[in-house]
């Protein structure tokens, strides 16, 4: 019974913190930048309450080569203090991974190619394969 009471008292605060982390991730400059030839779509952000993992991201649409997109984001991420992963976690559709401490939590950025004209840029502050 005491465990249920502790969860009931602490859960709302944890959800609020997770939602705030999601808003912080959504405000990162990397989600407002796109290489030539790509246009940013609507952004999204939130909290996966079942795991208390914050996330944010958006799609980019248009005509740009995969090599140019990866090079652009690699430079931008390194400039912003992200650490580029040498090995992409497997299995993963990612073409570029990065990580950075944000609000005391490790955030993971994943750039993936959804199709020929669409890229996904997704940030989560939980397990790199999450959300």
**120 in Cβ contact with 41 (< 8 Å):** no
pLDDT at 108: 93
pLDDT tens digits, residue range 52-70? 999 999 999 999 999 999 9
What three-state secondary structure class fits 2?
helix
More confidently predicted of 25 and 1: 25
Name the DSSP letter for residue 32: G
- Residue of 42, 83, 87 whose CA lies nearest to 60: 42
pLDDT tens digits, residue range 75-105? 999 999 999 987 666 667 789 999 999 988 8
Structure pTM? 0.82
- With cut-offs at 50, 70 and 90, classify the pLDDT of residue 51: confident
Largest CA distance in the chain: 58
pLDDT at 39: 96
**Distance in angstroms (rounded) separating the CA atoms of residues 67 and 75:** 12
Task: Give the number of other CB atoms < 10 A from CB of residue 10.
Answer: 10
> In the predicted model, is pLDDT for residue 11 greater than 70?
no
**69 in Cβ contact with 111 (< 8 Å):** yes
Task: Give the number of other CB atoms < 10 A from CB of residue 103.
Answer: 12
């Amino acid at each position: 019974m005491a465990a249920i009471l502790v969860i009931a008292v602490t859960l709302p605060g944890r959800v609020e913190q997770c939602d705030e982390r999601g808003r912080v991730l959504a405000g990162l400059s990397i989600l407002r930048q796109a290489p030539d030839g790509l246009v940013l779509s609507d952004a999204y952000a939130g909290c996966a309450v079942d795991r208390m993992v914050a996330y944010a991201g958006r799609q980019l649409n248009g005509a740009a080569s995969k090599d140019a997109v990866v090079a652009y984001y690699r430079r931008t991420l390194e400039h912003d203090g992200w650490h580029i992963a040498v090995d992409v976690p497997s299995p993963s559709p990612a073409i570029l991974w990065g990580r950075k401490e944000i609000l005391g939590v490790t955030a993971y950025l994943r750039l993936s190619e959804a199709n020929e004209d669409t890229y996904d840029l997704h940030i989560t502050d939980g397990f790199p394969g999450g959300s």
